[in-house]
Amino acid sequence: MSIQWFPGHMHLTRKLIAERIKDIDVVIEVLDARMPGSSANPALTELTGHKPTLKIINKQDMADAARTALWVDWYDAQHETKALPLDASEPAPAKRLVEACRKLAPGRGGMAKPLRVLICGVPNVGKSTLINSMSGKGQAKAGDEAGVTKDEQRIVLDDDFYLWDTPGMLWPKIIVPQTGYNLAACGSVGRNAYDDELVALELLLYLQMHYARHLDERYKLGLDDEEIAALHDDELLTLIGKKRGAVMSGGRVNMQKAAELLITDFRTQMLGRITLEVPAEFEQWRAAGEAAEAEHQAKKAEHAKHRKAGRKRY
């Protein structure tokens, strides 16, 4: 079972966006460059897909640059999608988005027909930060946890340019387990919806294979890539716990503490620039997730048929 987080306020956000979208000219979907596939919300695509959309691959400063380039190509190759990498905390590139939005809706502009732009995305990807950089004002509340924005907010950027900030939204059922883990590792899932140790071990498994040097540098493991890859993830987390002083009386490693340390190191870039997925593997994960979900639904339908037939007999 993958990590799930779709609390009541996300139901409300979904309704709110479904209503608002009727009066929107351009959509900006903000993605996280550390997980540009997993942070793309299929429920948002369903709601907003019929409007001109810019995908912003945000937090590029935290991600692996070569991998960001792969994702930009991947999105650009898709029908009518344009993806732009960004660091939303920098005002100049964010301000250039204003022009990009105007180009996407050439029929809008002027006081009578202001351009109306909706910013959406999963929690904690930088939507409010982007709005503040685009507007040059700190009107939208931003912060480093999932769920900072609680309600829709309209920001007037210019007499003829309105921006709507929306609360972060996930989708009702995450069928790709890796997506759940990556969303949790990057801080897009509420603290109580996942187990730190499980998320840390999944993160470690990926880092062992793709970023062994980063682990060695941060934790001074003194091991080569093959040695790091060969360690059991549990063993490696124990080793990290020891190196970082997450030790209880009696010398045993506090695995919960070690897990928290690893996740914090990842989120605060102490491990360097990392991207947790590339397009080809993300497509594989998605195909496997869809196949497992189809099988699950078929079994459920079969079950229901038998139950119904059973009820008829008695």
* Phi-psi group of 89: left, alpha or beta (phi > 0 → left; psi -120 to 50 → alpha; rest → beta): alpha
| 25 binds ligand GTP, rule: CB under 6 A | no
* Separation of alpha carbons 31 and 6, rounded Å: 18
Pick the closer one to Mg ion by CB: 12 or 223. 12
Per CB under 6 A, contacts with ligand GTP among 158-217 are 167-168
Strand pairing report for 26-32 and 153-158: unpaired
Per CB under 6 A, contacts with ligand GTP among 40-59 are 58-59
If contact means CB under 5 to 8 A according to the sort of partner, which of ligand GTP, Mg ion, none does residue 58 touch? Answer: ligand GTP
If contact means CB under 5 to 8 A according to the sort of partner, which of Mg ion, ligand GTP, none does residue 186 touch? Answer: none
Pick the closer one to ligand GTP by CB: 24 or 120. 120
Pick the closer one to ligand GTP by CB: 233 or 260. 260
| 118 binds ligand GTP, rule: CB under 6 A | no
List of residues 6+ apart from 88 with CB closer than 8 A: 30, 56, 58, 59, 94, 126, 129, 130, 133
Pick the closer one to ligand GTP by CB: 37 or 168. 168
| 3 binds ligand GTP, rule: CB under 6 A | no
Contact status, residue 61 vs residue 87, Cβ threshold 8 Å: yes
Contact status, residue 144 vs residue 187, Cβ threshold 8 Å: yes
| 39 binds ligand GTP, rule: CB under 6 A | no
CB of 149 to Mg ion, least distance (A): 3
CB of 159 to ligand GTP, least distance (A): 25
| 61 binds ligand GTP, rule: CB under 6 A | yes
* Separation of alpha carbons 56 and 130, rounded Å: 10
Of 36, 37, 85, 123, which one interacts with ligand GTP (CB under 6 A)? 123
Write a three-state SS string for 274-311. Answer: CCCCCHHHHHHHHHHHHHHHHHHHHHHHHHHHHHHHHH
- Applying CB under 6 A, which part among 40-48, 91-99, 118-126, 288-296 lies near ligand GTP? 118-126
List of residues 6+ apart from 67 with CB closer than 8 A: 275, 278
